[in-house]
Amino acid sequence: MDAYTAVRTKRDERHYLDTPIPDDVKHRIFQAGRMAGSARGLEPCRFIVVEDAERRLALANCGRTPPHIIAAPMAVAIIIPEGGRAFDAGRAAQNMMIAAWADGVGSRPASADNAACAKELLGIPDGYELVLAIAFGYPDPEQPLQSGNKRVSLDEMVHWERW
């Protein structure tokens, strides 16, 4: 898939098959996250891959039990130093989600509102914090995303020289 098609067509999926993600696809996902740029080249992100179904359920229960973290075969928790740049986490996350999509794998972030719960569950060391977790899996063709695209128009989104 060409890059522009990938970034333009990637949607945050809600429904997943439980089909496992092949190792080579996983490798490309993590490599994409690794190669994302970061402020001053600090590479602040670390990833915790959660495939165990019980642990995914427990992770979902650290938040508002997002069903896609339970349904998708892989969740990737994104960790940064406490007080670090969530912007850079977003860059790495988007890289991973685009690489996944180019291999036909959908994704969707999920917050874990109870930070202490996630920290305990995932063994996140002191000085680090969870930004959020991303579900990865093949989209369920029986439950496609609704196509109604109500995005803000480019004219409303883009200002020239001044707001």
The amino acid sitting at 145 is L
> What is the closest distance, in whole angstroms, from the C-beta atom of residue 62 to a copy of itself in the complex?
14
Among positions 73-92, residues that touch a copy of itself (CB under 8 A) are: 79, 85-91
If one asks whether residue 39 binds a copy of itself (CB under 8 A), the answer comes out as: yes
If one asks whether residue 49 binds a copy of itself (CB under 8 A), the answer comes out as: yes
Are 44 and 78 spatial neighbours (Cβ–Cβ below 8 Å)? no
Neighbouring CB atoms inside 10 A of 66's CB total 22
Q: Which of 123, 127, 141, 148 binds a copy of itself (CB under 8 A)?
A: 123
If one asks whether residue 47 binds a copy of itself (CB under 8 A), the answer comes out as: yes
If one asks whether residue 23 binds a copy of itself (CB under 8 A), the answer comes out as: no
CA–CA distance from 17 to each of 21, 48, 68, 107 (Å)? 10, 21, 10, 12
If one asks whether residue 117 binds a copy of itself (CB under 8 A), the answer comes out as: no
* Closer by beta carbon to a copy of itself, 69 or else 131: 131
Token pair of 31, please?
A: 């490599």
Partners of residue 16 on adjacent β-strands? 139
